[in-house]
């Protein structure tokens, strides 16, 4: 198998970013180191985003991630953003996706969502959406999670899609799932594009199954994980008014 | 004798051998054309959604059957109810005409109507489905007079397997999906999943399946995205002990509106992926009763 990896212009100039990519695929990397590398890659992605001035100063920022990325890649993004942006303007949406594969149909149904942007519903401020994902291959998860976010966020500027590694064609696969007026708002931030897969995994990609490398189990058991970042951020709800409606 | 055989026998006995040979050629073309015919599959799923929406709105005693491999001159899709036969020909091409080619679409539509009329069917509609809106307008204004009484033209976009794009493109499809998705006011991802699961059930259908059969099959898929019907909802009886445990969990709200356990706790929310009539949900209730979570942190581990 001839493996071709292309670095983005940012990664080509950033020795740190390309070293971190190499670290992800190094053999026998411990889960602790892997987690740390992912977090650092998140910081580099945020650096790349801010460098391009893709977020207007007045915007709220909604960082959207999956459960497996929350404590590592997404935390790195948020930590870096908070150095320059008031943390009260940064909102986290963390999503627990399952997987359905049947012939040509592939779905990533949402089992659970932690969504701080609910408090933005009546806010007139514009939102910049940043979707963070450790790797984008078929784009199914990112598509699903974006559909959920775009169903509730009405006033948004660009949709920034940030991932350390993309499989060749991931951008167009994602954009093809949205009408042009939405897809045209997508801006991609990435460090490497790979063009080969071995089974489900992109090679070299991020070194294999991200759930296993992060020591979160497999694609089922990772959904039992409750990220520390979610635990620490979510407030206890004030209301105890049930909205139970008898089934009629 | 099934209707396909009746149709074949009628053509063989009453029509010119050339027409019978043409019918045979159509069947062969149809069988090979079926491979990868996603445009037709998406259109069939879309049509089913509109029928299911009607059922959820007004209810129905009988459900039409849907056939995608039929014998006939208009043979991509056939919907058969007690009082009407609908035939659809899907043409995902930029250049479609009623009257060009050795066998024209107009001729196919005419033969289809004529033969089924001879076989005693009263209400027959033949519809040409195209993927270009301009072409749809052109063809609509040029339906030949001889087929006009029973023919129509529809637009349906060709978006291959991209169900997300399809759902976002068609507001009427969103409206239909909203009526039978597992949550009220479903977000786009829930609508897309509902459509996709129905398309999976359609691909698994038997030749004589009714739309109800396909809907039920989709309800049984794992995970399930189809709402329970009003009749099914009458059988939803959450366990009282289960509910009394949930009632003590501060900040938790939940409902069973569409026959699914939808919960919310502050900024965290979710839906149990099996409907409330399933054995999975029964097991879930049993687990909650066994472990008796006292707060959301304890409950959360059981929600997925």
DSSP letter for each residue of A63-124: EEEEHHHIIIIIHHHHHHHHTTS-GGGEEEEEEEE--EEETTEEE--EEEEEEGGGGGTT--
CA-nearest of A85, A216, A64, A73 to A151 is A64
Q: pLDDT at residue A248 above 80? A: no
Q: Whole-prediction pTM value?
A: 0.93
Residue entry with tokens 């270009």:
B132
List Cα–Cα distances, B47 to B54, B56, B133, in angstroms.
11, 15, 18
Tell whether A2 is within 8 A of chain B (Cβ): no
Q: pLDDT at residue B206 above 90? A: no
Is A63 in contact with A145 (CB distance < 8 Å)?
A: no
Look at residue B186 and give its three-state secondary structure. Answer: coil
The Cα–Cα gap between A146 and A165 comes to 18
pLDDT digit string, tens, across residues A98-152: 999 888 788 999 999 999 987 765 556 789 999 999 999 999 999 999 999 999 9
Q: How many CB atoms lie within 10 A of CB B245?
A: 18
Supply B239's token pair. 């366990």
Sign of CA dihedral B88, B92, B94, B97: negative
Is B179 in contact with B57 (CB distance < 8 Å)?
A: yes
Q: What is the pLDDT of residue A129?
A: 96
pLDDT digit string, tens, across residues A180-231: 999 999 999 999 999 999 988 999 999 999 999 999 999 999 999 999 999 9
The Cα–Cα gap between B91 and B89 comes to 7
Tell whether A98 is within 8 A of chain B (Cβ): yes
Residues of A in contact with B252 (CB under 8 A): 242
pLDDT digit string, tens, across residues A67-88: 999 999 999 999 999 999 999 9
Is A207 in contact with A33 (CB distance < 8 Å)?
A: no
Report H helices in chain B. Answer: 3-14, 17-33, 38-58, 105-118, 133-140, 163-169, 171-180, 188-203, 211-220, 230-233, 240-247, 279-291, 296-300
Nearest 5°: CA angle at A175, between A170 and A181?
160
Is B209 in contact with B65 (CB distance < 8 Å)?
A: yes
As a whole-number percent, the residues of chain B with pLDDT over 70 amount to 96
**For testing contact with chain A, the best of B160, B169, B189 (most A CBs within 10 A):** B189
Q: How many CB atoms lie within 10 A of CB A233?
A: 16
Residues of B in contact with A112 (CB under 8 A): 268-270, 303-304
Residues of A in contact with B262 (CB under 8 A): none
Q: What is the CA radius of gyration of chain B?
A: 24
**Span between the terminal Cα atoms of chain A, in Å:** 58
ipTM: 0.92
Look at residue B287 and give its three-state secondary structure. Answer: helix
pLDDT digit string, tens, across residues B71-129: 899 999 999 988 889 999 999 998 999 999 889 999 999 999 999 999 998 899 999 99
Tell whether B38 is within 8 A of chain A (Cβ): yes
Sheet holding B85-91, edge to edge: B65-67, B77-80, B85-91, B124-130, B151-155
Burial B36-63 (b: 16+ CB within 10 A, else e): ebebbbbbbbbbbbebbbebbeeeeeeb
Q: Which helix (H) or strand (E) holds A61?
A: strand A60-66
């Amino acid at each position: 198998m001839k493996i071709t990896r292309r670095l983005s212009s940012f990664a080509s100039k950033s020795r740190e970013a390309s070293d971190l990519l190499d670290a992800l695929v190094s053999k026998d990397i411990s889960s602790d180191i892997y987690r740390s590398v992912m977090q650092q890659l998140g910081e580099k992605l945020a650096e790349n985003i801010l460098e391009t001035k893709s977020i207007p100063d007045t915007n709220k920022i909604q960082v959207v991630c999956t459960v497996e990325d929350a404590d590592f890649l997404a935390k790195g993004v948020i930590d870096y953003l908070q150095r320059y942006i008031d943390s009260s303007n940064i909102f986290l949406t963390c999503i627990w996706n399952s997987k359905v594969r049947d012939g040509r149909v592939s779905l990533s149904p949402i089992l659970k969502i932690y969504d701080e942007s609910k408090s933005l519903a009546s806010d007139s401020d514009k939102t910049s959406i940043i979707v963070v994902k450790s790797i984008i291959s078929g784009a199914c998860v990112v598509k699903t999670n974006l559909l959920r976010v775009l169903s509730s966020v009405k006033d948004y500027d660009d949709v920034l899609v940030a991932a350390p590694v993309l499989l060749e064609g991931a951008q167009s696969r994602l954009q093809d799932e949205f009408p042009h007026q939405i897809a045209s708002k997508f801006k991609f931030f990435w460090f490497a594009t790979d063009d080969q897969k071995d089974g489900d995994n992109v090679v070299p990609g991020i070194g294999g199954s991200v759930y296993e490398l992060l020591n979160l189990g497999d694609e089922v058991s990772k959904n039992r994980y409750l990220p520390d970042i979610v635990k620490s951020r979510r407030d206890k709800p004030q209301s105890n008014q049930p909205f139970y409606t008898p089934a009629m | 004798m099934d209707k396909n055989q009746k149709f074949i026998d009628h053509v063989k006995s009453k029509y010119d051998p050339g027409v019978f040979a043409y019918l045979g050629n159509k069947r062969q073309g149809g069988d090979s054309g079926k491979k990868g015919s996603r445009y037709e599959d998406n259109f069939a799923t879309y049509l089913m959604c509109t029928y299911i929406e009607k059922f959820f709105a007004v209810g129905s005693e009988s459900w039409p059957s849907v056939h995608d491999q039929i014998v006939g001159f208009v043979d991509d899709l056939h919907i058969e109810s007690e009082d009407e036969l609908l035939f659809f020909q899907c043409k995902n091409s930029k250049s479609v005409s009623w009257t060009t080619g050795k066998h024209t679409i107009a001729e196919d539509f005419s033969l289809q109507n004529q033969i089924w009329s001879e076989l005693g069917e009263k209400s027959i509609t033949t519809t040409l489905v195209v993927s270009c809106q301009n072409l749809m307008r052109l063809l609509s204004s040029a339906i030949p007079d001889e087929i006009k009484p029973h023919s129509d033209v529809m637009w349906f976009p060709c978006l291959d397997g991209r169900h997300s794009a399809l759902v976002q493109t068609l507001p009427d499809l969103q409206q239909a999906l909203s009526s039978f998705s597992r949550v009220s006011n479903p977000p786009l991802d829930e609508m897309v999943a509902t459509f996709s699961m129905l398309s999976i059930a359609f691909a698994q259908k038997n030749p004589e399946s009714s739309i109800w059969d396909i809907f039920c099959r989709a309800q049984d898929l794992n995970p399930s995205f189809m709402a329970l019907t009003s009749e099914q909802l009458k059988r939803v009886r959450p366990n009282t002990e289960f509910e009394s445990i949930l009632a003590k969990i501060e900040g938790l709200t939940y409902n069973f509106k569409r026959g699914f356990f939808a919960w919310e706790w502050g900024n965290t929310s979710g839906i149990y992926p099996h409907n409330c009539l399933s054995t999975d949900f029964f097991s879930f209730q049993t687990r909650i009763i066994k472990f008796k979570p006292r707060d959301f942190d304890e409950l959360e581990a059981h929600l997925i």
